[in-house]
Amino acid sequence: MHARTRPGPAGPLGPADPLPYRPRRILVAGTSGSGKSTLARALAERLGVPYHELDALYHGPGWVPRPEFAADVAARAATPAWVSEWQYSAVRALLLSRADLLVWLDLTRRQVARQLVPRTVRRRRSREELWNGNVEPPLWTVLTDRDHLLRWAWRTHPRTAERVGRVLAAGDGPPVVRLRGRADVARWLAGPVSAVAGTGGGGDPGQCTPRSAEAQ
């Protein structure tokens, strides 16, 4: 077992900062529409670990929450390596206790809206199936449904920063990487992530020390 490496009192790592080790269990945090799933898939591909999409585990047919959700997440979190989103209050603490890296997509409301609005319109117009037969609701429901995804993302935007702030303040969580937009994401994937994956410069990934399984 190895001691957990922390980025120190300076706060989260940036897109150019080397990773302290090759991560094996990664959480991606961000408000709805920030690009969590897209980044999680990219990380899984580059690091050769499974990606578990929480929305697919949570939503049953007709948008009804699956009763097996928490148990399914717990089973996947117990495995040695994975990438997933950091969301859903029922499993957020469990996932954090198992993660050895937390990636924070810290986009502004305006940045999120520029991504989320076109995606929502495209999905609705094409009737794209999301999870278990579900599709986006009619666009006009943004006017009548307080919890429509577009309104939800705008209203709950500050919560991710608050949660990540608590992780940093506690000082006993995984290292945090803060990315503030697509340019940061691209820079981080091409630099620090490629280095530890062994597909780019930045040192021998064999010298990276995985976090211990403490508190697991």
CA distances from 164 to 104, 130, 140, 193 (A): 8, 28, 33, 21
Does 16 fall in a domain?
no
Q: DSSP for 22-84, please give it.
A: --SEEEEE--TTSSHHHHHHHHHHHHT--EE-HHHHHB-GGGPBPTTHHHHHHHHHTSS-EEE
Does 141 fall in a domain?
no
Instruction: Give the length of the chain.
Output: 216
| Residue 8, both tokens | 């120190």
pLDDT of residue 144: 86
68: domain CATH number is 3.40.50.300
Q: What is the mean pLDDT of the chain?
A: 86
Q: Grade residue 87 by pLDDT with cuts at 50, 70 and 90.
A: very high
Q: Region 62-71: what's the mean pLDDT?
A: 95
Does 43 fall in a domain?
yes
Q: What angle do CA 13, 149, 45 make, to 5 degrees?
A: 45
pLDDT in tens, 110-138: 998 898 888 888 888 888 787 788 888 88
| Domain span including residue 92 | 25-118+157-201
Does 71 fall in a domain?
yes
Instruction: Kindly state the helix (H) or strand (E) to which residue 176 belongs, with its residue range.
Output: strand 176-179
pLDDT in tens, 146-187: 878 888 888 889 999 999 999 999 988 999 999 999 999 999
Strands 25-29 and 51-52: unpaired
What is the dihedral sign for C-alpha 185, 181, 38, 35?
positive
| Residue 124, both tokens | 């609705």
Q: Which residue has the tokens 């986009």?
A: 107
pLDDT in tens, 6-53: 444 448 999 999 999 999 999 999 998 899 999 999 999 999 999 999
Does 93 fall in a domain?
yes
pLDDT of residue 142: 81
Q: Region 61-67: what's the mean pLDDT?
A: 93
Does 212 fall in a domain?
no
Note the pTM of the prediction, 2 decimals: 0.83
What domain count does the chain have?
A: 1
pLDDT above 80: residue 5:
no
pLDDT of residue 139: 87
